[in-house]
Amino acid sequence: MASITTEGNYDRIIEVKQFDESKIGVKGLVDSGVKTIPRFFHQPPENLPGPNLKDRPLMTIPVIDLSRERSTVVEEVKRYSSSLGFFQVINHSVPLPVIDNVVNDMKKFYEQPMEYKMQYYHRDAQKKGAAYYTNFDLYQSQGASWRDTFQVRLSPTEPEWDAVPGMCKAPLLDWDKAVVGLAKQLMSILSEGLGLKSDKLNEMLCYEHRLCASHYYPPCPEPELTIGIGSHTDPCVITLLVQNEIGNLLQVKCGEDWAYVEAVPGAIVINIGDLLQVLSNDEYKSVEHRVLANPTDGARVSVATFFNPTNVQMILGPFPELISAETPAAFKEFLFADYLGRFYTRELDGKTLVNFYRADNTKT
């Protein structure tokens, strides 16, 4: 990577382009021994957690045992989906070795020599293999986030496996196969929690379009100036995520405070996406969450699958069964493709897109 310009000659667009075209990623900056982060990673003050974050009470996201009686699980999932929008599950159907392998093998990829990773570095959404890059909103954001990303679209069209690193293929396939079954189970539980027939969400094939994204958060020399990933809500029905033991970096917005998502061994983190908030007529909540810049010596690694319907031409809105005179539609109907277009052409700025589609359009 060419040298960074001096403060007086700083040009953000030039430096972002220079960094992106170098294909070294944030991990490459760390490996080069940087002691200060490039200026384009500096976040606006309002995006930073603030110096008093550690003084606040430590709230944690609840853990639900899926082996308990069905009615109890339905009640707990409904309660936390309607309030926090986040929960973790244990005693689920995904084998623990599958979780360990996908997290550990993704970490191995990120820690390969720079020259090897460069061949996968690109931003072409039309390619059907793996995409390795830094920040999908790198060019739109006010400040870049201190992380690298690896993603593969696993369904409905199978990726071109020759364009996926060999070390990642088997663990990704095993993870995908296992996590689909859990997603279907959760969608059945979520449907029941709304008072609908249990196969409502599964009939819509809400599990069929799957994007798997892994994030790598290496140590940051100036964590007080940037963030791992900015506050956002997810563009999907539900998200299923696993993470390694570097915890207390993933946080969920709870009112004016933030709750930590602790790294529970073997647990899978579940969060409600924007589309399910709309479909549930505002019963389930898609809430803001973020990841702090990593101040530790080790790297945080996460692997998430985002579940969506296959048909992007689908018209979405609240389920008719949930609309009544007492509970009118909270959202207007909209084209799924319109929502996706809006999400992927803006920065992660902490503003949920669901409010754009509200029926009264008065909330921002």
The number of residues in the chain equals: 364
Helix, strand, coil shares, percent, the chain, to 5: 35, 20, 45
Q: Which pairs with CB-CB distance under 8 Å and at least 24 residues apart come from 71-74?
A: 73/189, 74/189, 74/192, 74/193
Task: Please tell me the predicted confidence (pLDDT) of residue 351.
Answer: 66
Asked if residue 27 lies in contact with residue 141, where contact means CB atoms within 8 angstroms, the answer is no
Task: Please tell me the predicted confidence (pLDDT) of residue 116.
Answer: 97
Task: Please tell me the predicted confidence (pLDDT) of residue 53.
Answer: 57
Asked if residue 118 lies in contact with residue 328, where contact means CB atoms within 8 angstroms, the answer is no
Q: Using the 8-state DSSP alphabet, how is residue 159 labeled?
A: P
Per-residue pLDDT of the chain (364 residues), as tens digits, is 444 444 557 899 999 999 999 999 999 999 999 999 999 999 999 888 876 555 555 678 999 999 999 999 999 999 999 999 999 999 999 999 999 999 999 999 999 999 999 999 999 988 889 999 999 899 988 899 999 999 999 999 999 999 999 999 999 999 999 999 999 999 999 999 999 999 999 999 999 999 999 999 999 999 999 999 999 999 999 999 999 998 679 999 998 889 989 889 999 999 999 999 999 999 999 999 999 999 999 999 999 999 999 998 999 999 999 999 999 999 999 999 999 888 777 655 666 778 889 998 644 4
User: For the stretch 14-40, what's the b/e string if a residue is b when 16 or more beta carbons lie within 10 angstroms of its beta carbon?
Assistant: ebbebbbeebbbbbbbbeeeeeebbeb
Instruction: State the number of CA atoms in the 13 A half-sphere of 207 facing the CB.
Output: 19
CA angle, 233 then 239 then 245, to 5°: 100
In DSSP terms, 140 is beta-bridged to: none
Contact residues for 50 (Cβ-Cβ < 8 A; gap 6+): none
Token pair for residue 302? 């996460």
Q: Which pairs with CB-CB distance under 8 Å and at least 24 residues apart come from 125-129?
A: 125/344, 127/160, 127/163, 128/153, 128/157, 128/159, 128/160, 128/163, 129/159, 129/160, 129/161, 129/162, 129/163, 129/164
Q: Which of these, 54, 67, 107, 138, lies nearest to 243 by C-alpha position? A: 107
pTM passes above 0.85: yes
Q: Which of these, 182, 168, 177, lies nearest to 102 by C-alpha position? A: 168
Task: Please tell me the predicted confidence (pLDDT) of residue 172.
Answer: 98
Give the phi and the psi of residue 19 in degrees, each rounded to 5.
-65, -45
Q: Which of these, 50, 274, 38, lies nearest to 135 by C-alpha position? A: 38
Task: Please tell me the predicted confidence (pLDDT) of residue 2.
Answer: 41
Give the phi and the psi of residue 122 in degrees, each rounded to 5.
-165, 170
In DSSP terms, 161 is beta-bridged to: none
Q: Which of these, 277, 279, 239, 290, lies nearest to 363 by C-alpha position? A: 277
Domains of the chain: 13-309 (2.60.120.330)
C-alpha distances in angstroms, 53 versus 58, 221, 244, 280, 289? 10, 19, 23, 33, 15
3-state secondary structure of 213: strand
